Amino acid sequence: MTEALKQPRVYIFDTTLRDGEQSPGCSMTVPEKLRMAAKLVELGVDIMEAGFPIASDGDFEAVRRVSQEFHWVQVAALARATKNDVERAAAALEKAKRPRIHTFIATSDIHLQYKLKKSREQVLEDAVRAVELARKYVDDVEFSAEDATRTDIDYLEEISRAVVAAGARTVNLPDTVGFSVPEDYADRIGRIARALGDSAIVSVHCHDDLGLAVANSLAAVKAGARQIECTINGIGERAGNCSLEEVVMVMKTRNDFYPYETKIVSEHLFPASEMLSSIITFGPQPNKAIVGKNAFAHEAGIHQDGYLKNKSTYEIIDPKSVGVPEGKLVLGKHSGRHALKKRVEELGYPELTQEQLDAVYKCFTSAADNKKGFMNEEIIEFIEAALEGAAEKVS
């Protein structure tokens, strides 16, 4: 057995089609969800949360269709801790071969007081009742304590133990409002993981309100969590969810520090990002890690010089390993002669003399201060001007 196979397994629970879809501009039709689901299957996600069946007929149909068409994949449906929600989720998953009902209820005092208007005892009873009902329909039940990071830790442990005793196989402790920081979240996750032991998997679902969703998820894994709930491009409510591509590539690239195994086929990360962007109304920001259009782009001359000598000088990830064809040199005002020379050769002018290259570079630098970047056609104009200048000197 290889060393990699001995590493602790971390399950990737993708909620692009559910939590991701709930964010503004990310709504998907049933056919669009099916297209995205097919790509998520290729990507190798362990569990695919396909929708919230009680929310709409479209969500119900999406869960039903995804679980039928990808019958070998574990498909989850979300349900509040109520009879109607659980039964609606069960109906949507009726034909699924590997169904999971994911039921949740808020557990923090602020949610109990202002949203639910219930006592801790009532919420615990609702949670246990929902899990017991869900177990009548499926063997695999996940329970989420909404707003777990602002929940009293003793109560969080109490309700976690109770839902596992009622039949939950996974206990999710979400940072619903992105309130946590890594050290605090790790302490909280570690306590519940120790309390549950081998009786259930502890899962994490982090939002990015403070920009810490990936860091919190990784800290939780080191503390004992074994499932990460995340989305492609980090889409989701408000500032979004933990980014699937980022958390996976951290574990792959820094396996020395995060020695965990996932089943994600990383070469499908960029294609999955591109597909999602084509379905919803926006793509990732250009400087987005892993899948942004600038993630493997180099403009600064010093960087370009090092990159041309050995790509590892400025690329810690092989672009091909995440499905990006190759890194690219961007010509702008910070670029140097080496990058310009390479572009000139790529454009079909390998025989330019040093004097001609100097002339091209002079044209390039003169225009660069007023440009955000250069198209190939503009570089060709500089080359032709340099060649014409050389011809005039000869004549």
DSSP assignments along 126-170, one per residue: HHHHHHHHHHHH-SEEEEEEETGGGS-HHHHHHHHHHHHHHT-SE
390/204: higher pLDDT = 204
327/357: higher pLDDT = 357
Of 77-81, 230-234, 389-393, the least confident: 389-393
What pLDDT is stored for residue 5 in this prediction? 53
Q: What span, in angstroms and rounded, lies between the C-alpha atoms of 243 and 233?
A: 6
Domain count, the chain: 2
Asked if residue 391 has pLDDT above 50, the reply is no
Asked if residue 40 has pLDDT above 50, the reply is yes
Residues 126, 247 within the same domain: yes
**Residue 330's pLDDT band (boundaries 50, 70, 90)?**
low
**Domain assignment present for 285:** no
**pLDDT digit string (tens) for 133-161?**
999 999 999 999 999 999 999 999 999 99
What pLDDT is stored for residue 208 in this prediction? 98
Give mean pLDDT, residues 228-245: 98
**pLDDT digit string (tens) for 49-68?**
999 999 999 999 999 999 99
Q: What span, in angstroms and rounded, lies between the C-alpha atoms of 228 and 242?
A: 8
Stated as kind and residue range, the H or E segment containing 305 is helix 301-309
Residues 250, 308 within the same domain: no
What pLDDT is stored for residue 278 in this prediction? 95
Residues 196, 135 within the same domain: yes
Strand 47-51 relative to strand 11-14: parallel, antiparallel, unpaired?
parallel
Q: What span, in angstroms and rounded, lies between the C-alpha atoms of 212 and 202?
A: 19
Residues 95, 215 within the same domain: yes
Residues 250, 358 within the same domain: no
What pLDDT is stored for residue 72 in this prediction? 95
Asked if residue 395 has pLDDT above 90, the reply is no
Quote the DSSP letter at residue 112.
Answer: I
Q: What span, in angstroms and rounded, lies between the C-alpha atoms of 130 and 114?
A: 22
Asked if residue 267 has pLDDT above 80, the reply is yes
**Domain assignment present for 287:** no
Q: What span, in angstroms and rounded, lies between the C-alpha atoms of 30 and 41?
A: 16
What pLDDT is stored for residue 379 in this prediction? 82
Strand 201-205 relative to strand 170-172: parallel, antiparallel, unpaired?
parallel
Minimal CA–CA distance to 205: which of 13, 11, 9? 13
Of 227, 247, 279, the position where a domain reaches its end is 279
Residues 301, 266 within the same domain: no
Residues 133, 177 within the same domain: yes
Residues 125, 38 within the same domain: yes
Residues 306, 167 within the same domain: no
**Domain assignment present for 369:** yes
Quote the percentage of the chain above a pLDDT of 90.
74
95/342: higher pLDDT = 95
**Domain assignment present for 117:** yes
Residues 303, 269 within the same domain: no
Token representation of residue 8: 């602790």
Of 279, 308, 343, the position where a domain reaches its end is 279
Max avg pLDDT among 77-86, 294-303, 337-346 = 77-86
**Residue 331's pLDDT band (boundaries 50, 70, 90)?**
confident
Asked if residue 69 has pLDDT above 70, the reply is yes
Of 94-98, 233-237, 320-324, 358-362, the least confident: 358-362
284/309: higher pLDDT = 284
**Domain assignment present for 332:** yes
Please answer whether residues 296 and 324 qualify as being in contact, where contact means their C-beta atoms are separated by less than 8 angstroms. Answer: yes
**Residue 236's pLDDT band (boundaries 50, 70, 90)?**
very high
**Domain assignment present for 143:** yes
Token representation of residue 216: 């919190």
Of 215, 248, 279, the position where a domain reaches its end is 279
**pLDDT digit string (tens) for 172-215?**
999 999 999 999 999 999 999 999 999 999 999 999 999 999 99
**Domain assignment present for 243:** yes
- Mean per-residue pLDDT over the chain, rounded: 92
The pTM of this model reads: 0.88
Owning domain of residue 235: 4-279
CATH number of domain containing 204: 3.20.20.70
What pLDDT is stored for residue 381 in this prediction? 87
Residues 306, 227 within the same domain: no
8/368: higher pLDDT = 8
Residues 91, 237 within the same domain: yes
**Domain assignment present for 289:** no
**Residue 337's pLDDT band (boundaries 50, 70, 90)?**
confident
